[in-house]
Amino acid sequence: MSYEQRAVADASAGGAAAAGTRLVEPLKRVDGGVVREVFVPPLAAEPQRGSLGDIPYDNAAEAPAEVVLSRKQPDGSWADVTAAEFAAEVTAVAKGLIAEGLQWGDRIAIMARTTYEWTLLDFAAWAAGLITVPIYPTSSALQARWIIHDSGTVACAVEDTAQARMISTQRAHLPGLLHLWEFDTGAVDRLKRAGAHLADEEVAARRAMTGPPSVATVIYTSGTTGRPKGCVITHANFFAEVDNAIELLYPVFKNLSSEPAATLLFLPLSHVFGRMVAIGCLRARVRLGHAPSIQTEDLLRDLGGFRPTFLLAIPYVLEKVFNTGRATAEKIGRAASFDRAARIARRYGEAVEAQEHGTGSGPGLGLRLARGLYDPLVYRRIRTALGGRVRYVITGGSPLGHRLSAFYAGAGIDVYEGYGLTETTGASTVTPPLKPRLGTVGWPLPGTSVRIADDGEVLLRGGHVFGGYWNGERGVVEPATDAAAWLPTGDLGALDAEGYLTITGRKKDIIITSGGKNVAPAPLEDWLRAHPLVGQCMVLGDDRPYVTALITLEPDGLRHWRQMRRKEHLRTAELVRDEDLLAELQRAVDEANQLVSRAESIRRFAVLPGDFTEERGHLTPSLKLKRAAVVRDFAEEIEELYRK
């Protein structure tokens, strides 16, 4: 095996978007002409002292008047919170936690939507030397009970009365849970009053006891195949993650124009993806807002009022914005114009990518003129839907795909696609600024190594990789990596000649047909889910003669399709057998089949009248498919697909 090293590049040219960006190209290990391992050196120094709980105080000392958060008011307006104000509020709440008897190292659970109070309590808990335990706000009583019991949580903060009642029904099974607080009934103010008699030095003493190796949080996995496991994430893990991300994604986190960097967070803070960005924003002093509702009208209103410069989003959100734009154009008879604009944007994005890689001369005059023509007609409307000022989007959770990545690049929004796990404190790879490779999940985050095992599994190593899982009975960490400290992800992938990673599927999801053909369902499922009519898709075929799929319908896309084809009178149960609908879905399946060989292609599919949902037990809180539950509940529909 040989080792190839490329020079470290300082991309200091290229205009405002590039200014200050430090781009470190990966060091590669090559075996038989195939890249098997890549490593990107860290851009940020490893902290030798302190914790996440120090971030508000460092900000207050360095820039007390700088706005670090904006808090939504009852009338829908946004009130700015300075660094000094946030640090003072963190201190007040931390004193309340200490006054309530919580000891250094105690666990405190937070069960709420994405709100200012969530982030406030998170940092107050760290300032008091506590360990936070997120619980999805949509969790069932038994799920919440398991997490509280397994983590040994002594206090729990919930958002509303319904959640408080749900946790209360489980108190008999949770003798260690001593406190239950509710944000909506004034829990934050009560904690402030409870600790008002304590000196600020009490909090400073707790902070002094906490260092980088201390546990910051225990985040439970989504549990696609069994009971969730608690991932033990340290303060050092978070510093390795966010500090390197801030330095790499310089255009995102730094003020490069008259518009200060700002983001509106609407993904769950109970997920490591949203949590990592919230911490990164406070660390970089990027104005952070919270949007608790992801209902389309609520979110669009919040985006318009807050006007972020970048967003954190899962691919579904970007697919939804694109599909909604296309549906709007179709309603006014301009679908063909929208489709032409989409093709031009994709060509433009691909031309820019080629130029940045030195394989092309960039967009020609004709392409630049065409893009300029469609900018006010199409692309500006897309940007307006995201608040009007968004220039960057960080996405992860599932592949976005080459088509949409190129479209958004051409529409004036750079998409940084990433890949990671709860066990890696968020992203392990990310699209590098100025050198995107559309359709991939980028290079390793600085300080990270990626290796492809002999069976194609992605292995990870770096300072952001956790030490192991929480052992509920003993309250200790169970190591999750081998002696070489490589974390097996369970994902399959490949590295190209330049070190870009592509994820091809999950090891446990690989389908082996009765003919012995191995099929990765993810590429087919991801392609179909991007279709405006498709809500969810699950590809089947294990020990079967051919590959099939279960498809659910996306409500907004279906509503538009019915209106345009004058089929509002048909019930959903009738629509799943409608010839026109089935023909359109067949065209989508045919397009997806072009990605794979005939032996891997979908031969038949069934349209289900209802969607896969978390409430019905078919999705995890992070919207991953529980495949065993789907197979169990739709056994009859699956059998029908294999009847002659």
Residue 8, pLDDT above cutoff 70: no
Percentage of the chain with pLDDT > 70?
A: 93
What is the structure's pLDDT at 9?
A: 36
Query: What is the rounded average pLDDT for all residues in the chain?
Result: 90
What is the structure's pLDDT at 475?
A: 64
What is the structure's pLDDT at 13?
A: 32
Residue 3, pLDDT above cutoff 60: no
Q: Are 299 and 147 in contact (CB under 8 A)?
A: no
Confidence tier at 4 by pLDDT (50, 70, 90): very low
DSSP bridge pairs for 156 = 109, 180
> Average of pLDDT values for 27-32?
92
Look at the block and give the residue holding tokens 């006007």: 307
Question: Which 8-state DSSP code applies to residue 445?
Answer: P
Residue 224, pLDDT above cutoff 60: no
Segment 87-115, tens digit of pLDDT: 999 999 999 999 999 999 999 999 999 99
What is the structure's pLDDT at 516?
A: 84
Pick the residue with more confidence: 38 or 615?
38
DSSP bridge pairs for 4 = 28
The string of DSSP letters for 584-615 reads: HHHHHHHHHHTTS-GGGSEEEEEEESS---TT
> Average of pLDDT values for 185-210?
97
SS3 481: coil
Residue 207 has phi, psi (to 5 degrees) of -65, -35
Among candidate residues 624, 628, 629, 631, the one with its CA nearest the CA of residue 606:
631
Its pTM stands at 0.87
Look at the block and give the residue holding tokens 């994430």: 233
Contacts of 255 (CB under 8 A, 6+ apart): 261
In this structure, of 18-32, 66-80, 180-194, the range with the lowest mean pLDDT score is 18-32
10 Å Cβ neighbour count for 175? 8
Pick the residue with more confidence: 474 or 356?
356
Q: State the architecture of 52-210 in CATH terms.
A: 3-Layer(aba) Sandwich (3.40)
Residue 643, pLDDT above cutoff 90: no
Most confidently predicted of 337-351, 388-402, 466-480? 337-351
Measure the N-to-C terminal CA separation of the chain; round to a whole number of Å: 51
Question: What ranges do the domains of the chain cover?
Answer: 2-31, 52-210, 510-641
Segment 579-630, tens digit of pLDDT: 999 999 999 999 999 988 888 999 999 999 888 888 888 888 777 888 888 9
DSSP bridge pairs for 108 = 132, 155
Pick the residue with more confidence: 206 or 3?
206
Segment 108-150, tens digit of pLDDT: 999 999 999 999 999 999 999 999 999 999 888 999 999 999 9
* Three-state SS letters, 44-85: CCCCCCCCHHHHHHHHHHHCCCCEEEEEECCCCCEEEEEHHH
Segment 262-296, tens digit of pLDDT: 999 999 999 999 999 999 999 999 999 999 998 88
> Average of pLDDT values for 477-494?
77
The answer regarding whether domain 510-641 maps to CATH 3.40.50.300 reads no
What is the structure's pLDDT at 514?
A: 85
What is the structure's pLDDT at 407?
A: 95
